[in-house]
Amino acid sequence: MTSTTLVIFVLVYAGMILGGLPYLQLDRTGVALLGAIALVATGAVPEKAAAGAVDLATILLLFSFMVVSAQMRLGGFYGHVTRWLAGLALAPPALLGALVAVVAVLSAVFSNDVVCLAMAPLLADACARRGLDPRPFLLGLACAANVGSAATLIGNPQNILIGQALSLPFSGYLAAATPPVLVGLLLTWAILAGLHRGRWEAPPAPGPAAAPPADEPPLDLWQTGKGLAVTAVLLVLFLAAPWPRELTALGAAGLLLTSRRMHSRQVLGLVDWELLVLFVGLFVVNHALQATGLPARAVEALAARGVDLSRPAPLFGATFLLSNVVSNVPAVMLLLPVATHPVAGTLLALVSTLAGNLLVVGSIANIIVVDAAARRGIRIDWRTHARVGLPVTAATLAVAALFLAWRAGGS
């Protein structure tokens, strides 16, 4: 069955690279699911082994925070924050700085993809009303969301996976990641502000001011307050209580679903079920490959040639490369078995996340922002993004490398 497993693995990861498979109407989620189905159907992975390969704790934690984020969006929180930011009487560079700071904090708690999905359309409209070029602000939204989400173990899907798989303490990771993330955010703002110095203005949008998107509800103080209160309690428990994070978060999700005013259909409709299915499929596919023993032999062969992936420097390079080839979640799943060094968890989380700013396809947050801009006639092509993404990625990864080298030297 080794050859069958290897062929299916190669096809699945080719789909991760290409975003699908030629001649088939499959995206990355469809490819991962089809690969898992093929492995079980051919007997390469027994049914019980497939079920056991799925890290239920990671799935539960990911689902729970999707529910929390859905609560905040349905309560109009993101729209309110975006409109408040847009109304600040600040010069463009200062407004960009405020945007970067607020987006980073929100992304660290509520997930970068959700923040970009909710804020990008409103931000584009607000910039048009103020006569500002929306591109530096939209690029700032995407970059700050990626960098800010690296600060916690709940800021993005790959960090949730890393935290659960390696049993990283929430407070310990927060303390380790916060310094490079803060410096990275400052550099992100400086790069964006420098690149757009003197070029902030844009012709006013023709016609009346654009209305907020129909699917972005007005602020509901009760629902927003409920979501914020539950989130605050969750963070305190993560920092101070010894309880399993996935069960604590699941209880919070259940509390939010128990509502007299907000139908569960609305909340569950905003859950990213495709991402959950992608995780399930990749868990099975990666388990099948690990069971063949091929990855362990490959790692040993590389170590014999002086490339020991368990060491920080080679792991840093492999994480950056794979994150930009197959995207960050599949890359992290591949590299978790060699994440044995004391700083490996922090390294995987920081590098896989910060690498997402390099290209438009490097993270879902980038794609969300670019698509939202395109729907409003704002063109952000790969060159426009790379002009910002390349220096931001280089600067933030350099900071992360220096910090990780210092941590590794002291461990």
Per-residue pLDDT reduced to its tens digit, 134-183 = 999 999 999 999 999 999 999 999 999 999 999 999 999 999 999 999 99
**How many other CB atoms sit within 10 Å of the CB of residue 205?**
18
DSSP, residue by residue, 151-182: TSTTSSHHHHHHHHHTT--HHHHHHHHHHHHH
pLDDT at position 207? 45
pTM reported for the whole predicted model: 0.90
Residue 407 has pLDDT above 80, yes or no: yes
Q: For residue 83, count other CB atoms closer than 10 A to its CB.
A: 19
Percent with pLDDT over 70 in the chain: 96
Closest of 282, 297, 401, 295 to residue 331, by C-alpha: 282
* CB neighbour list of residue 256: distance below 8 Å, 6 or more residues apart: 67, 68, 71, 226, 227, 230, 267
Percent pLDDT > 90 in the chain is: 75
Q: What is the pLDDT of residues 249-292, one digit of tens each?
A: 999 999 999 988 888 999 999 999 999 999 999 999 999 999 99
Residue 318 scores a pLDDT above 80: yes
CA 287 – CA 282 distance, rounded (Å) = 8
> 45-59 burial string, b = 16+ CB within 10 Å, else e?
beeeebeebbbebbb
**Are the C-beta atoms of residues 328 and 363 closer than 8 Å to each other?**
yes
In the chain, what are the domain boundaries? Answer: 54-76+217-271, 90-206+308-411
Per-range mean pLDDT, top range of 12-21, 208-217, 338-347? 338-347
Query: Residue 228 contacts by C-beta under 8 Å, 6 or more apart in sequence?
Result: 72, 77
On average, the pLDDT of the chain sits at 91
The pLDDT score that the predictor gives to residue 354 is: 97
Phi, psi of 205 (to 5 degrees): -65, 135
pLDDT of residue 203: 52
- Rounded Cα–Cα distance for residues 366 and 377 (Å): 17
Tally Cβ neighbours within 10 Å of residue 167: 9
151-155 long-range Cβ contacts below 8 angstroms, 24+ apart: 151/104, 151/108, 151/177, 151/178, 151/181, 152/108, 152/109, 152/177, 153/245, 153/349, 154/61, 154/65, 154/108, 154/109, 154/111, 154/238, 155/107, 155/108, 155/109, 155/111, 155/112, 155/353
Q: What is the pLDDT of residue 2?
A: 86
Q: Is the pLDDT of residue 117 over 60?
A: yes
**Span 170-223, pLDDT tens digits:** 999 999 999 999 999 999 999 999 998 878 887 554 444 444 443 568 899 999
Residue 198 is predicted with a pLDDT of: 79
Residue 15, judged by CB atoms within 10 A of its CB (0-12, 13-18, 19+), counts as buried
